[in-house]
Structure 1
């Protein structure tokens, strides 16, 4: 199903899923009074904020280039992911505060199984939606959707650990496991927030295309640049879904502008067939600009 949904539809779905999951987790906390389940519910509050920001970012990133943003608005999704990472860190700090306070007042683990079953249902919903977002984020080259998917997967592992620990607390009667689990939840969420921020900031710094994409680009150029002498100075950068490709193509100085432009057209068409989101800029140069190393056309 996710292969037919657009980024905007997926972002809308994330808001609805986050609201449903938070409702389930708050219900689980109210049924048990567990500080570990409260921590899990607080993370879902961050999920809602992140999903709303992702929705706005995805819509804004889809705007076409204009006079003020000639290269498009693709990087808006990175800003959304950075803000979501900051919210995750804030939630982690709140959880750690609650857990430390609860360590001094741990009581008997008197919660029942019903609340934990509700929390388990919320975990399964998160797991299913996280897989949808991760696949769609890769397919659509969407930093906002990918960040949301990674966050939800972290939430799934957190919920699984909390439920396993609470079952252990019920079996052993060690009430202190509840706030200790909340501490572990907080540390894990803090780590996830840092990873989301780091990955998004890296995108804002004009990161080069991944190695597999660069290899594909070089193969297309080598195959389609027949008639040119050399291609060098290949540079790439990712900006959300957009992929910018720039390189120098050396041709015989006697070649006509029309002929060299025809080679450029063939390369550009082939690159866009292989990578539909590519935006290509080619600088044509005469033979005295040959470099010691470069891509040799076949």
Structure 2
């Protein structure tokens, strides 16, 4: 299976798994809420219903971003992924603000309402929810990193948040059962800070994809090393790498002996392109071949020469 097809299958599978898990959790929490009347479980049920709605949108977005290239999008649709990630970030930030408002309002209330504990059933569904969300976080994070998918990484971080909110709800249930309903508000307020920071992380990481930021320096060095490792390349300069969506486009000049024929220069260029394109994060590579004798490379370029 090609790298593109493997990525497509993995990313779409993540979206389907997350949606199915959110549906199951929403049904379970709603049932326990109906049976116990626990306000903490009720708020978690509402949260899971919201997760079902947003994960359906994310699944549709992941299907869209993994469609093959067509006439209108010759480089594929992966560049839409940062927008899907920003949608997840918006959902995360709204959830964080909602949790913060609820927690702070309860703390400032002169007589906070007493929540129903819900007993072992409520505790069980919240523990199961937290465990399921933790597994989803680790699963999505692994797939997102392996396949360089910012939308899947953002989904992983959102599942990490849901683990924290389930923990906060569990504190509320136990606190209500022990006669300290204010613990619910304290836990919710603390958790909201982490949720809001996660939303900021997702926005920060994806804005770079949208504005064509440069990739990490070690990736640029690897690109240069692969170009200079070709036995016929004597130098390289004007190396430009930048994000186009979640993938990197590269352009550079390589220097070869001026007496090489056009056929030989073409073969060298093709081999350098293929070597650089083999880097998982790289999409397109554009190589310009210069005669070494022109002396376009200079020490100040910082690219080094490939002189053996």
Distance 2:155 2:191 in 1: 18
Equivalent residues in 2 for 1:169-180, closer than 5 Å: 170-171=177-178, 173-180=179-186
Whether 1:295 and 2:304 are equivalent positions in the alignment is yes
Distance 1:192 1:35 in 2: 25
Partner of 2:192: 186
Which of 195, 203, 218 is the matching residue for 1:197?
203
Partner of 2:155: 148
Distance 1:28 1:101 in 2: 25
Distance 1:37 1:239 in 2: 42
Partner of 2:236: 231
Partner of 1:208: 214
TM-fit CA distance, 1:55? 1.6
Whether 1:127 and 2:131 are equivalent positions in the alignment is no
Distance 2:244 2:49 in 1: 28
Partner of 1:26: 30
User: How high is the TM-score relative to the length of structure 1?
Assistant: 0.85
TM-fit CA distance, 1:241? 5.2
TM-fit CA distance, 1:193? 2.0
Structure with the bigger RCO (C-alpha within 8 Å, sep 6+) is 1
Whether 1:167 and 2:174 are equivalent positions in the alignment is yes
Which of 286, 289, 303 is the matching residue for 1:284?
289
User: How high is the TM-score relative to the length of structure 2?
Assistant: 0.83
Whether 1:115 and 2:98 are equivalent positions in the alignment is no
Partner of 2:95: 91
Distance 2:281 2:88 in 1: 28
**Secondary structure in structure 2 of the residue aligned to 1:75:** helix
TM-fit CA distance, 1:82? 0.4
Partner of 1:6: 10
TM-fit CA distance, 1:282? 0.5
TM-fit CA distance, 1:83? 1.1
**Secondary structure in structure 2 of the residue aligned to 1:237:** strand
TM-fit CA distance, 1:153? 1.3
Task: Identify if the C-alpha distance between structure 1 residues 18 and 83 changes in structure 2 by more than 3 Å, giving closer, same or farther.
Answer: same
Alignment gaps of 5+ in structure 1:
none
Relative to structure 2, which stretch is displaced further, 62-71 or 132-141? Answer: 62-71
TM-fit CA distance, 1:147? 0.6
Task: Identify if the C-alpha distance between structure 1 residues 182 and 38 changes in structure 2 by more than 3 Å, giving closer, same or farther.
Answer: farther
Relative to structure 2, which stretch is displaced further, 234-243 or 114-123? Answer: 234-243
Q: Do the aligned partners of 2:38 and 2:115 also contact (CA within 8 Å) in 1? A: no
Deviations 1:90-134 (A, max 9, x none): 223333343445453322664312111111111111111221111
Task: Identify if the C-alpha distance between structure 1 residues 288 and 222 changes in structure 2 by more than 3 Å, giving closer, same or farther.
Answer: closer
Partner of 2:223: 217
Alignment gaps of 5+ in structure 2:
1-5
**Secondary structure in structure 1 of the residue aligned to 2:248:** strand
Task: Identify if the C-alpha distance between structure 1 residues 30 and 60 changes in structure 2 by more than 3 Å, giving closer, same or farther.
Answer: same
Distance 1:30 1:140 in 2: 41
Distance 1:29 1:183 in 2: 22
